[in-house]
Structure 1
Amino acid sequence: MTFNQLAAKCAPTVHMSTLQALARTESHFNPYAIGVVDGAVAQPETLKDAIATAKALHKAGKNFSLGLAQINKHNLSRFGLTYETVFDPCRNLQTGAQILGDCFDRAGSADPQVALQKALSCYYSGNFRTGFTQDFKGQPSYVKRIQLAAALNSDHQKLKIPAIQTDMPVLAPAKATVKSRSAQKKRERSESDKVVANKVEDKRETASWDAFSDW
């Protein structure tokens, strides 16, 4: 089963090419990927190691995100996940699609592409602004990175959340901050019920997403 087939089966409300671009950006298709806020960790290569690493990071009080769609640890209980189940590709993508869908619904734009760009910012940072700014000088914003990743996709099937258009200009940062209760967030927040989306900076060769051999 290809990634697009997995996405269509497990997260049918989000266009598969949008999910593919998101997963490529977040985890490089590694189902065991773990991104630590303001830190790094050796990337697990087995489910057993991934679970053990997640539990060790939890015990150490770290803030981190997990799996194909990089679900933040603060979102696990909200979506009925545990460290044992979050690495399942289908459940991980399903949860990522729910979070992105919540952001999309709350984006407040009649233009689906504008709403999608805002939703991606919300998925990344918990607001509709940060994803349009550069984390590091000389590097593209998160939303632009998703666009660049999406340029490799070609499926144009229309669903509730559309395929991202690579030729649409990226929006300028908004002044107002709108928070999403279920959004991913890259940076630390003071309240434990707020969420953090993490980037995975692993430089190894891209791992196959189908590490469970379930698909």
Structure 2
Amino acid sequence: MVLAAPVLASLLMQCGGNVDPTTLQTIISVESDGNPYVVANVTKNTSHYFKSKNEAVHFVNELAKVGDKYSVGLGQIYVGNFKGYGLTNETAFDFCKNVTVASKIFEECYYRAIDSGEYPDEQQALRAAASCYYSNNFTRGFKKEKNGKSYIDLANNAVNKIYSVPAMKPVGAGDSLTPVNNNLRRGIVYQQPEGDQPEMVESAINVEGNKPARAAWDVFNDFAK
């Protein structure tokens, strides 16, 4: 099961917190390709795809019984982070809650990249944050995997598919570096096994029908019939 583009777009707007929807869509594309019922068995390095939440929950419950570690859902949230966010094997598959946790993890990684002082450009910091989201450090995501591509390569390919036309900049901006905005601070969270990691209202998405409760572009329901 893969979420339709309008459904995912609406979900990112409602549940993505402080992370730009394009950035979050990029991460979700790499992590799960928009399939909310993907489970990665981290212990055995295998991936499993299910058609329903019940099937996915049953599978991770079995993994838990034998002590295997796993990541689940749209953002592939690692089980070691469940406790810190009040997630369970069941609620971790809720679309909105999964996206919210993913956004918080990525946000903290972004500020960790800025605080390191190694990434003065926001695009560099974002890619370092993507590596951090993947591996809890700023280097692993840049290393080539067995398929010949790194996590950052996959992220670059994914974002290029989202928007082929770049954002317009102010007149005179040229090609100069865009400075990072370090005015906001957030609490520390971690995605990888190195550390264990809030309940939210349910998303206004009709899960069974795989359709948004309203048109995806009508965020504020101004055009409801």
TM-score clears 0.5: yes
SS at match of 1:5: helix
CA contact (8 A) 2:38 2:48 kept: no
Deviations 1:12-41 (A, max 9, x none): 411111111211111111111101123325
Shift of 1:77: 0.9
The aligned amino acid for 2:33 is H
In structure 2, the residue matched to 1:153 is: 162
Hey, what's the Cα distance between the residues in 2 that align with 1:20 and 1:99?
A: 14
Unaligned runs of 5+ in 1: 159-179, 196-208
Q: Which residue of 1 aligns with 2:8?
A: 3
Q: How far apart are residue 183 of structure 1 and its match?
A: 2.9
Correspondent of 2:153 among 139, 144, 152: 144
| Structure 2 match to 1:182 | 189
Which of 28, 34, 53 aligns to 1:29? It is 34
Instruction: Say which structure is richer in helix.
Output: 2
The structure number with the bigger radius of gyration is 2
Which residue in 2 is equivalent to 1:105? 111
Q: CA deviation at 1:5?
A: 1.9
Q: 1:146/1:52 Cα in 2 relative to 1: closer, same or farther (>3 Å)?
A: same
Deviation per CA, 1:125-147, whole angstroms, max 9, x where unpaired?
A: 011110000121x5211011011
Gaps of 5+ in 2: 1-5, 169-186, 198-204, 213-225
Structure 2 residue aligned with 1:92, among 95, 98, 101?
98
1:81 aligns with 2:87: yes
Distance 1:32 1:19 in 2: 18
- For the 8 Å contact 1:79–1:95, the answer to whether it is kept is yes
Residues 210 and 118 of structure 1, relative CA distance in 2, 3 Å threshold: farther
Query: CA RMSD, aligned part only?
Result: 2.6
User: Structure 2 length normalisation: TM-score?
Assistant: 0.70
RCO higher in structure (CA 8 A, sep ≥6):
1
- Report what 1:127 is aligned to: 137
Aligned to 1:116: 126
Q: Which structure 1 residue ranges, 4+ long, deviate > 3 Å from structure 2?
A: 155-158, 209-214
Distance 1:53 1:118, change over 3 A: same
